[in-house]
Amino acid sequence: MSDRDKNGGDKPEDAAALPEVWPEAERAESLARGAALKWASGVFCRPEHLERLGQYRKRESQRTSSIQSRLKSVVQSYLEGVGWGLEQLREARAELKEVSHALGKAGVESSRNAEGVKALEMMREVSVNHCQLLAAVSNLPRLYSVQSMVSETERLVESRRLLEAHARLMELECWQDDVLWQLHGAGAPGTAGTALSAQDEELVRNYFSGVGKLVEALGKELWAVVGSGLALARQNPTPFVSAVRIVEREEALDQAMLEERGRAGGHSRPLPPGRPRCWRERFFQVLEEAVSARFRSVSYLHTRGPGLAGHLSALQHGIMGDLATVRHLLDHCVPPHYNLTRAYLRACHRCLQSHLGQVSGWELESGEIFAVLNWVLHIYNSSDMMGHPDLMVEMESEELGPLISQESLEQLQNKYVHSVRKSVSEWMHKALEVELTDWQRDQEPDTDHEGFYLTSLPTIITQMLEENARVALMVSESLRDQTIQMGLYEMENLLNRFREALVEFGKEHRRDQSTNQNKFYLHYLLASISNCIILKTSTESLQQQLSSRSASRFSRTPPGPLAALDRAVRRACRLVMDQLLLELQPFLQGLLSRSWLAQGDVTITLKLCGVLERHFELYSRVRPPCRQRLQEECQWLTVVEYVRVFMQKRLVCRNAEERCQLAQRMALDAQHLRDLFQGLVEVEGSVSEVNPMALLPVLADFIRLKDPSMLTLEVSGLVAKYPDISDEHVSVLLDVRGDVSRDVRGTVLDLLEQSTPPLPAGYRPIFSDILVPTPSMPFCLPTAKCA
């Protein structure tokens, strides 16, 4: 505990004598006492701990003395810094006293000199007035002669003595600038100048107003000379040379004034009115305006149809003639840095870009669009125009850029394709109408040099599409591809209409069959098939011309003219077979009946063969491979219809003799047909892989079989050869035999039901086309068994 605590605290009189204690110090002392008491109560909680009181006291005494020594060193260094700062403040105060004393002396001297300055103000005013009067006196002769010089300069301009007129104009401008500058007060030596009042400046400008009019008049004549530079170069280039010299003088004056103003800053002369004139820049603007004047008089009405190609040709010759004049004449009349030929090339290119953009917006036909595209893509960059060797030295064509943007070029090509498509569609429609008219003719179709039937339709279509592709290729491959794609789309549409026309042609023929109006119906069907083959060849040729990139450029579904051709050929072949069936039907009705079997006459078969022979002879007028296809279809139709008549069960054998007789007649008919077909096919020079005639001998052998127990083996062989045969067909065969018991029938049908092999690859079903007539149910009373 401290002495203060032991004495019970300070007395009131002592507290009043002590200085005031800070609250922060009291609070810190209170916290320190509390911490010390807490520490002591924790260390000396038992009596035996008091033995180490001396050690703790010694340690705390050492710590206290260390802290006090550090505090003393800190306080000492702080006091030294404070002393040094006070010394600096004393030195600064002494220096401020000296400066204040010197300023006082300067103020006294300034007050004494103010009286002398007032005396010089009057002399300054007199000097300025003297300078202005001197300038007025020296400028009086010039001012009196201004109007006469203006009039004289006007006469020089009117007579196109441009160099003399410009010299006088420069002199007048120099006088005007000198007067304005002198009125600003810059002529008085040793003075800073005075501001010119707006009234004085307006007075000077009004007096020299004729100078500004002279500048306008001279510029007008100057640009008229520059605009007619091409004509002057061929006659008398002197005015053009004078105009170029004036432009260069003005450009030099502009540069000199701007450089002087840049060096002197705000103390330089102000720029004269109308400066800088930038006449060199104006020179090239007038040159481009003269180039564009060629295109201003062109209108849509003057360039319709062939006139547009003539207009483009005239442009080509006019531009090349002007460029030759510029290179050989005008280029020598201007400084080299003008690069006049290059500038004229750029001007021509820009004007052509604008003019062709205007032309592209017109309602153009396909021929006009072709003329524009061919001129832009080929003629313009050829050696006859911008690709000329002399012009390539001046500027590469790549520097000029495209004459028409890629977007505009694509729009033009699309317009061309759309226009051609409209024309192609109309021509195809007319060609189809002519074709339909030809079908009604009462004469045989025309034949080509090989003897094949044909009409004018494929020739018209092929020549039209190939010609359009050839013309489009003269522009670009991409346009050729677009044109071919368009032609293929239109051909597909034509073939769809052609197929519909064939269907209607067949319906009309069936309606008019009784009157027999169209005797050459079959001939024109065969001619249509040959036409489709020619169109297929043409289509494949067009598709081969397409580039590999064309498919990726078209968003629509690729055209399918080949598929449409195949559909049209199938429809025509079907109509041919329908006509064949119609002619065979009367003879088929007389086959495989009991009367036919009893008479034993082969006349019906021979007549049927005569019809087939006549058809085969007509099929020879069809181009391969459809000729072979018709021959095969004819054999299939004959066999299918023969078997169909057989399946109608017109003849059911009563005994073995009838079965043998029926088998012999069927084998004989098969032999007649086989001999006919083999002879006709040999004449054609090819052997068909399809052999439907083998079915008739198989059926004859089935009927001829004497032992019914062998029918199971016979049916197995029949199913192996013709896997599409059904149990209904076999049941009819068993019925026609007339000697098959119920047990044998059940065995055969069970065998047939168990052995149903899948159709082999490439096998053409024959029994699937032969429908078995539904047996009529015999009348019976409703018994329990039937129920």
Structure confidence at residue 145 (pLDDT): 62
Selected residue with higher pLDDT from 271 and 651: 651
Question: Is 453 in a helix, a strand, or coil?
Answer: strand
Angle at 439 between CA 437 and CA 445, to 5 degrees: 120
Read off the DSSP letter of residue 52.
G
Question: 752-770 pLDDT, tens per residue?
Answer: 888 777 888 888 888 888 8
Residue 33's pLDDT is: 84
Q: What is the pLDDT of residue 318?
A: 85
Give the confidence band of 687 by pLDDT, cuts at 50, 70, 90.
Answer: very low
Query: pLDDT higher for 21 or 728?
Result: 728
* Chain segment 316-364, per-residue pLDDT in tens: 888 888 888 888 888 888 888 888 888 888 888 888 888 888 888 888 8
* Listed ranges 210-224, 254-268, 553-567, 694-708; the one with the highest mean pLDDT: 694-708
Confidence of residue 533 (pLDDT cuts 50, 70, 90): very high
CB distance 652 to 708 below 8 Å = no
User: Nearest Cα to 360, choosing from 424, 316, 403?
Assistant: 403
Q: pLDDT-derived band of residue 498, with 50, 70 and 90 as boundaries?
A: very high
Give the residue carrying structure tokens 């202005």: 132
Residue 4 has pLDDT above 50, yes or no: no
pLDDT of 514: 63
Q: Which whole-number Å values give the CA distances from 614 to 298, 588, 621, 640, in the listed order?
A: 69, 17, 12, 19
Percent of the chain, pLDDT > 70?
Answer: 82
CA distance 423 to 490: 11
Residue type, 100: S
Q: At residue 446, what are phi and psi to the nearest 5 degrees?
A: -70, 160
CA distances from 79 to 85, 86, 595 (A): 10, 11, 157
| Cα–Cα distance for residue pair 564/668, rounded to 1 Å | 42
446 sits in which H/E element: strand 446-447
Statement: residue 278 has pLDDT above 50: yes
Fill in the DSSP letter of residue 779: P
Q: What is the pLDDT of residue 487?
A: 92
CB 149 within 8 Å of CB 173: no
Residue 191 is predicted with a pLDDT of 43
Return the exposure string of 677-714: e unless at least 16 CB atoms fall within 10 Å of the residue's CB, then b. beebbeeeeeeeeeebbebbbebbebbbbeebeebeeb
Instruction: Write down the pLDDT at residue 5.
Output: 44
C-alpha–C-alpha distance, residues 346 and 336, integer Å: 17
Residue for token pair 């009819």: 732
| Sequence-distant (≥ 6) Cβ neighbours of residue 694 within 8 angstroms | 721
Tell me the H-state helices in 228-305: 229-235, 238-264, 279-296
Band of pLDDT at residue 519, cut at 50, 70 and 90: confident
Structure-token match 């604008």, residue found: 354
What pLDDT does 437 receive?
Answer: 92
Q: Around Cβ 474, how many Cβ atoms within 10 Å?
A: 13
- Residues 359-370: pLDDT tens digits? 888 888 888 889
- The winner for highest mean pLDDT among 162-176, 190-204, 265-279, 523-537 is 523-537
Model pLDDT for residues 566-578, shown as the tens digit of each residue = 999 999 999 999 9
For residue 13, pLDDT beyond 50: no
Tell me the pLDDT tens digit for each residue of 386-430. Answer: 878 878 777 666 677 888 888 888 999 999 999 999 999 999 999
Residue 18, pLDDT score: 42
Query: Residue type for 630, please?
Result: L
Q: Where residue 785 falls among pLDDT bands split at 50, 70, 90?
A: very low
Higher pLDDT, 741 or 178: 741
Residue 469: per-residue pLDDT: 92
Q: Which residues contact 231 (CB under 8 A, 6 or more apart)?
A: none
pLDDT over 80 at 274, yes or no: no
Most confident of 9-18, 208-217, 404-413: 404-413
| Contact by Cβ (8 Å): 210, 267 | no
Specify the pLDDT at position 8: 43
pLDDT tier for residue 483 given thresholds of 50, 70 and 90: very high
| Residue 446, beta-bridge partner list | 454
What's phi and psi for 593, nearest 5 deg? -115, 170
Q: How many helices (H) and strands (E) does the chain have?
A: 29, 2
What angle, rounded to 10 degrees, do the helices at 457-473 and 521-545 form?
10
Mean pLDDT for 283-291 is 88
Number of Cβ within a 10 Å radius of residue 464: 19
Q: What phi, psi does 270 have (nearest 5°)?
A: -70, 150
CA dihedral for 412, 417, 418, 424, sign (positive or negative):
positive
**Mean pLDDT calculated for residue range 13-39:** 69
> What tokens were used for 490?
């239109």
DSSP code of residue 774: P
Q: How many CB atoms lie within 10 A of CB 398?
A: 7
Q: Which of 38-47, 332-341, 513-522, 778-787 has the lowest mean pLDDT?
A: 778-787
> Mean pLDDT over residues 268-294, rounded?
81
- β strands within 553-710, DSSP E: none
More confident residue, 781 or 67: 67
Q: Write the CA distances from 505 to 455, 516, 573, integer angstroms.
A: 16, 14, 13
Q: What does the block give as tokens for 575?
A: 């109509």
pLDDT averaged over every residue in the chain: 81
d(CA 168, CA 163): 9
Q: Please give the biggest Cα pair distance in the chain.
A: 175
DSSP class per residue in 548-591: TTHHHH--SPPP-HHHHHHHHHHHHHHHHHHHHHHHHHHHHTTS
What pLDDT is stored for residue 689 in this prediction?
47
Of 168-172, 436-440, 459-463, the poorest mean pLDDT is in 168-172
709-722 per-position pLDDT tens digit: 888 888 888 888 88
User: How many CB atoms sit inside 10 A of residue 180's CB?
Assistant: 20
